[in-house]
Structure 1
Amino acid sequence: MPFVLYLLALAVFAQGTSEFMLAGLVPDIAADLGVSIPAAGALTSAFAVGMVIGAPTMAVLSLRWPRRRALLVFLLTFLVVHAVAAVTSSFPVLVATRVIGALANAGFLAVALAAAAAIAGPSAKGRATSILIGGVTLACVAGVPAGALLGRMWGWRAAFWAVVLISIPAVIAIARSIPGTTSPAPVPPRARQELRTLRSPRLAATLLATALLNGATFCTFTYLASVVTEVAGFRAGWVPVMLALFGLGSFAGITLSGRLADTRPVPLLLIGGTLLLLGWAVFGLAAGNAAATVVLVLVQGTLSFAVGSTLITQVLYAASGAPALGGAFATTALNVGAAIGPWLGGLAIGAGSDYRLPLWVSACLVALALAVTASSALRRAAEPQ
């Protein structure tokens, strides 16, 4: 794979750290700004809403820009709003920075996914996607636990400053390595043609399944710190360790998806999805057991990202008629789930005052994703060849 894909993954690492690190910072933000834990958890949903709006909007707006300009504008905006977030004492301002940062993140990821697919060629989209999304898994492995550790040592604001610092070398690398004269996509009238690909039943089903599965992942991940401390009985110092464990699992899942997503996607989706569903149900029953929690955090991280990354790849294949906006479709689906999941988890906690409940919400969302995937596969199998 071309080295430029790894440079894009570096930027995705910085953005993934920002998106995921709240899982270890929600209690501290809530205490510092005087809001409830579900309200602080809604920061994840605010970020996801910005991603949902931003992915198609920013992708269309940047169609006339060279790839380097689009990537730099989005990444610099992302950097600036995180500096603002690090100094604000207002929760509404913090929410606003999350939304604006998400708009920039969405534009960047949409352009980067389309670029990666084009660079890799028509038969290696799974490998290219795994490299790019690998930045997210590295964020889970290193960035998110480091953010939680920084939050414990110097306060949650230190984690936001760390994202700013991580973004700077990514900006320099993109400025030096991405050609400045290559147009990323056809002219805007083509956008209308690409949007028509959303009428494809296969693409619609894959986007829905992607949103549901990512909702399941974010539903539990957003409240994982509370599950670990309030249900499993770990001390707060264990939260970064558990987040890193989830991240190690996600790295293993991305690696598995990179090897199989191009050649055997249906078995990976159906078998992996079934195991993921069972895992969330078992986690819901066994969350009070510390040893079981350790094992299940690793296993669920692996399965969530193996199945989720494969679904992203399938979105790009199903959206082959939309080379410019295919990445935007995938980004939107991911973040519809990332918005709905924490919201549903917060509703469940508010209704039942039990931090096990997001685990059961995750199980329900995976069951729905499995039903959509199986139905779509059966429909395609029944179509005349």
Structure 2
Amino acid sequence: MPFAIYVLALAVFAQGMSEFMLSGLVPTIAQELTVSIPAAGSLTSAFAVGMIVGAPLVAMLSLRWPRRTALLVFLVTFLLMHVIGAVTGSFAVLFVTRVVAALANAGFLAVGMAAATSMVEPTAKGKATSILLSGVTIACIVGVPAGAFISELWGWRAAFWAVAILSVPPVVAILRAVPGAAPDPNAPSALHELRALRTPRLVVVLVLGALVNGATFCSFTYLAPVVTDVAGLAAAWVPLALLLFGLGSFAGVTIGGKFADSNPMRLLGVGAVALLAGWLLFALTAGIPVVGFIFMFIQGTLSFAVGSTLITQAFYSATGAPTLAGGFATAALNVGAAAGPALGGVAIGVGAGFRSPLLVSAALVAVALLVGAAALLAGRGKAGAGNARSPEQAPVV
């Protein structure tokens, strides 16, 4: 793999740390900036909305830019927003910095995935994507606890400074490692890429990505009460649960990188069925601590193996629109990341208990299986039995 892909993964690590660490900083931000807890919590929602809206929009605006230029603009903007956030005394300014940082993050991911997949052989897109996404999983494992630890020692502003500092090495490395090029006058226009996206297969991939990621974050968001209220353990065990899920997610993207190019059909089909069974069994056994911890690792692995493979399939489904494919894939994943926890919260709110998010996750995966099966049957009917399948042609589930 080209060194530049690992550079991009380092930047994605810093961005993942920024996205996930905020949940642990809400109380101290609210206290220092004299706003309510719900108001401070809106910073998380602002970032999520910025990612959903920004991914396709910013990717479209940057289509004619050289990729190195686009990556640098997005990353430097992201860095500067964290510097401003770290020094401001205004909640309104902080809110704006989160929205702008999310737009920059979304643009970086969209262009970064397109750049990573363009640096490798056409049949190695899955491996390139998995390396890039490993930055997110490592942020879950190391970055989020580190952010919480830094904020405990030096306050929430120090966590923002840490993200800004972590973003500096990738800026330098992108200048040195990512190939530079003059703007291509023959580069596809936004309209051309949008037309290339109008394929039923890509739509199915995006829907599946949103459903699977919704299932993932529905349960991940409520792991703490599963540990404390369902399993009956002390709050001190929650970091272990998050660590196990994070380790599983890293294992998942690694597995996805190994098989997403060569055998996506089997990985998605078997993985999705196992994912559904896992959420159901986790819901049934969540009251047994040892079994629950095992499922935290297993479900993290399965969720990210299936999810990262779906992202790869977005690029195989839209070879004529790699930048916007990355943008819409990023948006779809963030739709799931926002909708999943909301659905889990609804289930808890109606009195279904803290096991209910696990069942909601199972329901979302079941819907994904139904959608995938319907798409598979429709695809087979159109293509005929004699068509050979390459990774680009493989059914999505």
How high is the TM-score relative to the length of structure 1? 0.90
Summarize the Cα distance change of 1:339–1:57 in structure 2 as closer, same or farther, 3 Å threshold. same
- Hey, what's the Cα distance between the residues in 2 that align with 1:30 and 1:321? 46
> Structure 1 vs Structure 2: percent identity of aligned residues?
61
- Hey, what's the Cα distance between the residues in 2 that align with 1:350 and 1:186? 54
Alpha-carbon contact 2:110-2:330 (below 8 Å) kept: yes
Asked if 1:56 is matched to 2:56, the reply is yes
Partner of 2:254: 255
Using the TM superposition, give the Cα deviation of residue 155 of structure 1 relative to its aligned residue in structure 2, in angstroms. 4.3
- Hey, what's the Cα distance between the residues in 2 that align with 1:144 and 1:185? 42
* 3-state SS in 2 of match to 1:263: coil
- Hey, what's the Cα distance between the residues in 2 that align with 1:228 and 1:94? 33
- Hey, what's the Cα distance between the residues in 2 that align with 1:146 and 1:353? 33
* 3-state SS in 2 of match to 1:21: helix
Q: Number of aligned pairs?
A: 383
Partner of 1:163: 163
Partner of 1:109: 109
Alignment of 1:137-152 (within 5 A): 137-152=137-152
* 3-state SS in 1 of match to 2:363: helix
Larger RCO of the pair (alpha carbons < 8 Å, separation 6+)? 1
Using the TM superposition, give the Cα deviation of residue 141 of structure 1 relative to its aligned residue in structure 2, in angstroms. 1.9
- Hey, what's the Cα distance between the residues in 2 that align with 1:371 and 1:119? 35
Using the TM superposition, give the Cα deviation of residue 36 of structure 1 relative to its aligned residue in structure 2, in angstroms. 5.2
Alpha-carbon contact 2:56-2:327 (below 8 Å) kept: yes
* 3-state SS in 2 of match to 1:63: coil
- Hey, what's the Cα distance between the residues in 1 that align with 2:358 and 2:28? 22
Partner of 2:222: 223
Alpha-carbon contact 1:18-1:163 (below 8 Å) kept: yes
- Hey, what's the Cα distance between the residues in 1 that align with 2:221 and 2:114? 28
Alpha-carbon contact 1:186-1:324 (below 8 Å) kept: no
Summarize the Cα distance change of 1:94–1:218 in structure 2 as closer, same or farther, 3 Å threshold. farther
Using the TM superposition, give the Cα deviation of residue 248 of structure 1 relative to its aligned residue in structure 2, in angstroms. 0.9
Partner of 1:305: 304
Partner of 1:208: 207
Partner of 2:132: 132
- Hey, what's the Cα distance between the residues in 1 that align with 2:356 and 2:186? 46
- Hey, what's the Cα distance between the residues in 2 that align with 1:237 and 1:165? 30
CA deviations over 1:288-330 (Å, ceiling 9, x no partner): 3322221111111101100000100111100112133221121
Asked if 1:365 is matched to 2:364, the reply is yes
Using the TM superposition, give the Cα deviation of residue 30 of structure 1 relative to its aligned residue in structure 2, in angstroms. 6.8
- Hey, what's the Cα distance between the residues in 1 that align with 2:126 and 2:92? 39
Using the TM superposition, give the Cα deviation of residue 339 of structure 1 relative to its aligned residue in structure 2, in angstroms. 2.0
Using the TM superposition, give the Cα deviation of residue 103 of structure 1 relative to its aligned residue in structure 2, in angstroms. 0.5
- Hey, what's the Cα distance between the residues in 2 that align with 1:191 and 1:315? 17
Q: Match of 1:270, as an amino acid?
A: G
Alignment of 1:337-356 (within 5 A): 337-352=336-351, 354-356=353-355
Partner of 1:330: 329
Alpha-carbon contact 1:52-1:336 (below 8 Å) kept: yes
Alpha-carbon contact 2:3-2:177 (below 8 Å) kept: no
- Hey, what's the Cα distance between the residues in 1 that align with 2:304 and 2:244? 13
Alpha-carbon contact 2:212-2:307 (below 8 Å) kept: yes
Partner of 2:288: 289
Partner of 1:379: 378
CA deviations over 1:138-176 (Å, ceiling 9, x no partner): 112211222233344444444333212211111121122
Q: Match of 1:352, as an amino acid?
A: G
What RMSD over aligned residues (CA atoms) do the two structures have, in Å? Answer: 2.6
Range that drifts further, 324-333 or 258-267: 324-333
CA deviations over 1:71-124 (Å, ceiling 9, x no partner): 111111112222344455666655443322111100001111111111113111
Q: Which has the larger radius of gyration?
A: 2
Partner of 1:98: 98
Range that drifts further, 375-384 or 200-209: 375-384
How high is the TM-score relative to the length of structure 2? 0.87
Q: Match of 1:344, as an amino acid?
A: L
Summarize the Cα distance change of 1:127–1:226 in structure 2 as closer, same or farther, 3 Å threshold. same
